Amino acid sequence: MIRRMAIATFATLTLAACGGGASVPEAVYVDPVRAAPTVSAASTWVEGLQSPWSILPNADTALVSERDSGRIVRVDADGSVSTVTTIDGVVHEGESGLLGLAVPPSGGELYAYYTSDTDNRVVRMPWDGQTLGAPVDVVTGIDKNTFHDGGGLAFGPDGMLYIATGDAGAPELSQDMASLNGKILRVTPNGGIPADNPFPDSPIYSLGHRNVQGLAFDGSGQLWATEFGTSEADELNRIVAGGNYGWPMHEGTAGAEDFIDPAAQWSPTSLASPSGLAILDDVAYVASLRGQVVWQVPLVGDAAAEPIALNLGDLGRLRAITVDGPGRLLLATSNTDGRGDVRNGDDRIIVLEVE
């Protein structure tokens, strides 16, 4: 049986207050081993982006994926934006389109997760720092939908590629070992199945997920993931090989046999809708869409401390967040995604200073 030893919950509220049913079980709080660092919004780096989804920093520049347009753009130090490429065949509808980006530790290639006319897929493209080559398929056949397409990508310290998928609106797929949906996948950079994966001859690393978008590794090489709930609870999960996270039978803290409880959760989901995830100095930073805040969550070994809502001003919906060197994070707004109230300059990338 795989169980979490300790979890933290921002709020244990009865769903009746938000039109729901029974209350979420009370959490066990874990005190952080040190005070959480101070975070401030230092400056706006770039404005005028369209539905940015993923940020890849590189020295004083960054690559950004735009979900709706299928563009990968380069942001230079002065905030100027240029199109690197527009990926042919990207189909945007609802939450689908061009989603996560990742670069392997060795460099030389750029990986992208996107929705085609038939599926969600991951491709790799030769990348010399200036131009992108033709895409080559890495993983295909991930069911697509208007909603719940997942899309997060991350290379682990083991050199393997981790891929976050959604249930594509069919919750039963999350427990179906024949489906790539509702899972976190682990493959080699070429899309092969690593010999030490938890399930023989399968790319599945963990299952029972509803819609994972954020993936990040802490200082010990441990993988963490953000997951959207329905109305009961959003989750921050510590991901273990072969772990089953309970969807669709359970959402949030359940204490159920053979299912892993979240390390932290937000209830109701209007507090978060967690998308992007970054980990800096073993503190997780979660960009939230409906909650419109960044949540700071100190990580304590295998557990998580109580999430802290950072006061960064009125930025609206927040999608992507990433580490950009010591003491610095980059945060992308998501107000042009069809669900937000567009502010002057949206969408933007904000520079956050961490002290």
| 250: containing domain | 8-354
Helices (H), 98-178: none
Residue 84: both structure tokens together: 């690197």
Q: How far is CA 129 from CA 63, 109, 268, 278, in A?
A: 10, 9, 43, 23
How far, rounded to the nearest angstrom, does the alpha carbon of residue 275 sit from its chain's CA centroid? Answer: 5
In a domain, 1, yes or no: no
d(CA 149, CA 235): 17
DSSP state of 140: E
Tally of domains in the chain: 1
Alpha carbon of 294 to those of 92, 93, 178, 234, 331: distances in Å? 26, 26, 36, 14, 9
CA dihedral 150, 182, 288, 336 (to 10 degrees): 30
Nearest to 124 by CA among 112, 139, 115: 112
Output the tens digit of pLDDT for each of the chain's 355 residues. Answer: 222 223 343 333 222 223 332 233 333 345 545 578 999 999 999 999 999 999 999 999 999 999 999 999 999 999 999 999 999 999 999 999 999 999 999 999 999 999 999 999 999 999 999 999 999 999 999 999 999 999 999 999 999 999 999 999 999 999 999 999 999 999 999 999 999 999 999 999 999 999 999 999 999 999 999 999 998 999 999 999 999 999 999 999 999 999 999 999 999 999 999 999 999 999 999 999 999 999 999 999 899 999 999 999 999 999 999 999 999 999 999 999 999 999 999 999 999 999 9
Q: Which residue has the tokens 């954020």?
A: 214
Report phi then psi at 175, rounded to 5.
-105, 5
Q: What is the pLDDT of residue 34?
A: 55
pLDDT of residue 17: 27
Distance CA 330, CA 57 (A): 8
In a domain, 101, yes or no: yes
Which residue is associated with the tokens 């072969």? 242
pTM: 0.92
Contacts of 39 (CB under 8 A, 6+ apart): 285, 294, 296, 310, 312, 329, 352, 353, 354, 355
* Structural domain contains residue 2: no
Write down how long the chain is: 355
Residue 340 belongs to domain with CATH number: 2.120.10.30
Is 336 inside any structural domain? yes
Within a domain: residue 187?
A: yes
Has residue 3 been placed in a domain?
Answer: no
Burial class (CB in 10 A: 0-12, 13-18, 19+), 6: middle
Per-residue model confidence (pLDDT) at position 31 = 53
C-alpha of 301 from chain center:
21
Distance, in Å, from the CA atom of 267 to the CA atom of 21, rounded to the nearest integer, reads 12
What's the CA gap between 118 and 143, in Å, rounded?
Answer: 8
* CA distance linking residue 215 with residue 277, whole number of Å: 6
| Domain membership flag for residue 64 | yes
Query: What pLDDT shows up at residue 29?
Result: 42
Residue 282 lies in a domain: yes
Name which of 98, 15, 84 is nearest 51 in CA terms: 98
